[in-house]
Amino acid sequence: MQKTTANTDKKPNPKTGHGPTVQEKLPVVEVVHELDEADKACPSCGGELGEMQGQSEDSDEIDVVERSFRILRHRRSKYRCS
């Protein structure tokens, strides 16, 4: 009697549960982070740093408030020396 082997042509199931999950139904509260006036000086030349319009570094954080969920979107303004 000969043993039969399982079909080896099947693709393995994709792994789930890794990485961020999109949370489209949660409300978004935007938190804007800006530099203090004292910190708006270029460390190289001492010139004034101007905000780069439309540019920011964003990160999301799930926050629990009184048993409800929302997304805190941290928007850190980017600056450059002219």
Is position 54 within any domain? yes
d(CA 45, CA 82) in angstroms, rounded, equals 10
Q: How many domains does the chain have?
A: 1
pTM summary value: 0.52
Instruction: Tell me the pLDDT band of 8, cut-offs 50, 70 and 90.
Output: low
Where in the sequence is the domain holding 66, given as residue range(s)?
A: 28-81
Is position 33 within any domain? yes
Instruction: Tell me the pLDDT band of 76, cut-offs 50, 70 and 90.
Output: very high
- Using a 10 angstrom Cβ sphere, with 0-12 exposed, 13-18 middle and 19 or more buried, the burial of residue 81 is middle
